[in-house]
Amino acid sequence: MAEKRISRWYFGGIASSGAACCTHPLDLLKVLLQTQQEVKMKMTGMAVHVVRSDGVLALYSGLSASLCRQMSYSMTRFAIYETVRDMMASGNQGPMPFYQKVLLGAFGGLTGGFIGTPADMVNVRMQNDVKLPPELRRNYAHALDGLFRVWKEEGLKKLFSGATMASSRGALVTVGQLSCYDQAKQLVLGTGVMKDNILTHFLASLIAGGCATVLCQPLDVLKTRLMNSKGEYVGLIHCLTDTARLGPMAFYKGLVPAGIRLIPQTVLTFIFLEQLRLNFGIRVIAST
């Protein structure tokens, strides 16, 4: 008999929040690039423009909303995925097949995406504020202020604007991150060459980050446009057709900054998560 540790249900939210603190400027630049009606700036140019206009701290605009999002969206999807996965693995005395991981990841991401929609919308708005003229900025003081003002000024329904898109994206990114990470880690450990250490976690999370970026980018673009709209879109189909008129590559606008943001965030999230698991996880006895 050997002892191993499994994650606590809230570790995913903590790990994701830690990663978000490191990658938030990249997330902000991705949002600014995606909300351009025409391609006027690239990633470096946008970063220089933001710093020159509002200072270095402007790169962290909306950080409180980003953390709020991680503690709702990411905590929910990780809690669902890891809790069910560990229960099934314990009952079956072995890892889940990949297709079950995909289905579980999609369900967890769908649920987490819906729950995290209000914080996600406020996050997008706070990040997009830095490129607007001062008279057009919403100027939310922090995430809770943004949530309250949207509810008061625009109604409860507006808080879930883009929920369908956010949930769909949540499902895809969770499949790309959690399901692919688990499978990649399982395959790497199965070779017998590497052990359950930080190098294995880095390699598996790097693969997962690439998968998640490719899977969710088109939906991410549509979600950002919907959440940042001021009534110009009637719904998802209208947003889809309007974006399509810009050409097929419009759905992959900001792919490079999205990858530059999502891949490091995925790597950091799983490195933090695995360290939390190994040092503070629940001890269980596993048969050898």
- What would the pLDDT profile of 36-84 be if each residue is shown by its tens digit? 666 567 778 888 888 888 888 888 888 888 899 999 999 999 999 999 9
Whether 51 contacts 28, CB under 8 Å: no
User: Residue 69: which residues within 8 A CB-CB, separation 6 or more?
Assistant: 20, 116, 119, 120, 123
Domain range for 251: 2-286
What per-residue confidence (pLDDT) applies to 81?
96
Confidence band of 100 (pLDDT split at 50, 70, 90): very high
Judged against a pLDDT cut of 60, whether residue 134 lies above it is answered with: yes
What per-residue confidence (pLDDT) applies to 38?
61
What per-residue confidence (pLDDT) applies to 268?
96
Q: What is the CATH number of the domain that holds 59?
A: 1.50.40.10
- What's the total number of domains in the chain? 1
Percent of the chain clearing pLDDT 70 (strictly above): 93
Q: Please give the Cα distance from 287 to 258 (Å, whole number).
A: 41
Confidence band of 252 (pLDDT split at 50, 70, 90): confident
Judged against a pLDDT cut of 80, whether residue 31 lies above it is answered with: no
What per-residue confidence (pLDDT) applies to 177?
96
Query: Where is 283: in which H helix or E strand?
Result: strand 282-286
Phi-psi category of 228—alpha, beta or left, where left has phi over 0 and alpha has psi -120 to 50?
Answer: alpha
155-202 tens-digit pLDDT: 888 899 878 878 988 999 999 999 999 999 999 999 888 998 999 999
User: Residue 91: which residues within 8 A CB-CB, separation 6 or more?
Assistant: none
Judged against a pLDDT cut of 70, whether residue 1 lies above it is answered with: no
